[in-house]
Amino acid sequence: MNALHHILTRIFDLLLTPLEWVGDGFALVLVSGVFGVLALLLFKQISWQVGIKSAKDKIKGHMIAIRIYQDDLGVVFGSVVKVVLRNFQYLGLNFAPILPLFAPVVLISAQLVVRYGFKPLRVVSGDEAGEMLPGRGTMLEVRMKSSRREEVSKLSVELPAHLKALSPLVRNARDGIAVMEFVAIAPGRGDARILVGGELAGTKEVVSGAEHPRSMQPERVSNFWSSWLWPAEPTFEDSSPIEAVVFEYPDRHMGFLPGGAFGVLLTFFVASILFGIAVLKPLNIQI
pLDDT of residue 29: 93
pLDDT of residue 163: 93
pLDDT of residue 247: 96
Same domain as 158, residue 132: yes
Q: Is residue 255 situated within a structural domain?
A: no
The torsion angles phi and psi of 194, rounded to 5 degrees, stand at -105, 120
Cβ-contact 194, 246 below 8 angstroms: no
Same domain as 175, residue 224: yes
* Residue 26 to residue 33: CA distance in whole angstroms: 11
Q: How many residues does the chain have?
A: 287
Domain hosting 96: range is 2-117+261-280
* Residue 141 to residue 244: CA distance in whole angstroms: 8
**What letters, b where the CB count within 10 A reaches 16 and e where it falls short, cover 231-257?**
bbbbbbeeebbbbbbbbebebbebeeb
Per-residue pLDDT of the chain (287 residues; tens, 9 = 90+): 888 888 888 888 888 888 888 889 999 999 999 999 999 899 888 878 888 788 888 888 888 877 887 776 777 777 778 888 888 887 888 888 888 888 999 999 999 999 999 999 999 876 665 566 566 789 999 999 998 999 999 999 999 999 999 889 999 988 999 999 999 999 999 999 999 998 999 999 999 988 888 899 999 999 898 999 999 999 999 889 999 999 999 999 888 899 899 999 999 999 999 998 898 888 888 87
Q: Is residue 110 situated within a structural domain?
A: yes
Full-model pTM? 0.85
Same domain as 175, residue 62: no
pLDDT of residue 135: 67
pLDDT of residue 89: 82
Beta-bridged to residue 125, according to DSSP, are none
Contacts of 85 (CB under 8 A, 6+ apart): none
pLDDT of residue 128: 61
* Residue 266 to residue 252: CA distance in whole angstroms: 14
Domain count, the chain: 2
Same domain as 218, residue 195: yes
pLDDT of residue 256: 87
* Residue 129 to residue 157: CA distance in whole angstroms: 19
pLDDT of residue 65: 79
pLDDT of residue 78: 79
* Residue 206 to residue 184: CA distance in whole angstroms: 9
Same domain as 104, residue 43: yes
Same domain as 25, residue 51: yes
